[in-house]
Amino acid sequence: MNDLYVSHDYIAMNLRKAQNVDERRKMIESMSNILLSHIGEVLVDDVKQIHCENLVGAVSLPLGVAGPLKLKGQHHERDVLIPLATTEGALVASVSRGCKIISLAGGAVAQTEYIGPTRGPVFETKGIRESQAFIAFIRKHQDQLASCAEQTSSHLKLKEIETRRNGKYVYTRLIFDTDEAMGMNMVTIASDAVVSFLERHTEASCIAVAGNYDVDKKPAWLNFIKGRGRSCQAEVIIPQQLLKEHLKVSSRDLFKTVIAKCWGGSMMAGAMGYNAHFANIVAAFYAATGQDIAHVVEGSLGITSADVCENGDLYFSVYLPDIMLGTVGGGTKLKTQSEARSITGARNTEELAEVLTGAVLAGELSLLASITERTLGKAHKKLGR
């Protein structure tokens, strides 16, 4: 057992001593008796700009482009291309097919609402009455708490503090505006400042700066109901003739699939995503554009809806209440991700979120049509192997 610990410490110490990424990679090669030549070749960024410890190189993901998609955003109408980094065959083709039918139908209407990232410190008091008094203190001093938070960054605002209590535990949900950044690092630093103020001026003690009332990188009804990051919606009305000609399905049959699968099947399973495959598109888009991929779990939340209009046309929409993304900070500055993001033509985070929402709409429409037509297996047999 001691030898194992010595070996572990020896490896960790030597990795830290390595002067650069090449030296560290060669050390791993020597220790493991393997060759990592491709991992070394893929790295194109200045290592000083990369936030990754014990860096040895990079991995590549195939990047495809779906579209064009006619998108009617909140401020202007445009045709967009959608970069998707994925190893799943048929995904880019499916989204492209959805883009084509949506564009032929006149385009997708997309709308986003900024909620903001959240952080949720949890505090301990002496009991129920002390918890109530602590919450009253927070409400009375929100301006001072906002000032503490905003001193940590000129790009951040503390919008609101929500509270819940359970006995001697008080759960807070700090809601921020982080401008064009996704902002979780910013809000954690700002939340630390808020916690310090509260501990100095009350008898409550913070147990965790992230107490899971955020709720960050986990599926939660709180985020579904109240939203987090950005709440996004997109819709399209597709003439029934276009559906039959290009997707080989009727409005009523596709509507029945949405009811039975996205709604009924999800309810029977106790699922929190009432959709076909939001996560597929969100993950591929996040990987391509430099987002924190772990937030795909939040992007999987949401509802796909459909209805048959009086004239037989199909109304189709998606609702994503919890989209965490940005255009500055984190992985967005990596060279390949920055280039991929430029493919969208998005000028800011709002427009980037609109592109993602339109892509999800297209992906949902195409997959559900394939399921309705019973060609899902055939498509994956052709493209997915």
Query: Using CA atoms in the order 93, 256, 234, 220, what is the torsion angle rounded to 10 degrees?
Result: -100
Range 121-208 classified under CATH 3.40.640.10: no
| 292 has catalytic annotation | yes
Choose, from 88, 150, 180, 253, the residue flagged as catalytic.
88
pLDDT, residue 291, reads 98
pLDDT tens digits for 279-338?
999 999 999 999 999 999 999 999 999 999 999 999 999 999 999 999 999 999 999 999
| 51 has catalytic annotation | no
Note whether 149 and 194 are within 8 A (CB): yes
- The domain locations on the chain are 2-49, 63-115+230-383, 121-208
pLDDT, residue 2, reads 46
Rounded Cα distance between 161 and 29, Å, is 50
pLDDT, residue 364, reads 98
Element (H, E) at 14: helix 2-17
Rounded Cα distance between 125 and 204, Å, is 5
pLDDT, residue 358, reads 98
pLDDT, residue 371, reads 97
Compute CA distances 368 → 72, 229, 383, whole Å: 23, 27, 17
Strand duo 302-308 + 314-323: pairing? antiparallel
pLDDT, residue 1, reads 43
Choose, from 179, 216, 292, 298, the residue flagged as catalytic.
292
Which residues of the chain fall below pLDDT 70? 1-10, 12-13, 379-381, 383-385
Comparing 63-115+230-383 with 121-208, is the CATH topology the same? no
| 88 has catalytic annotation | yes
pLDDT, residue 384, reads 61
Rounded Cα distance between 89 and 91, Å, is 6
> Quick check: pTM over 0.85?
yes
**Region 63-115+230-383: CATH code:** 3.90.770.10
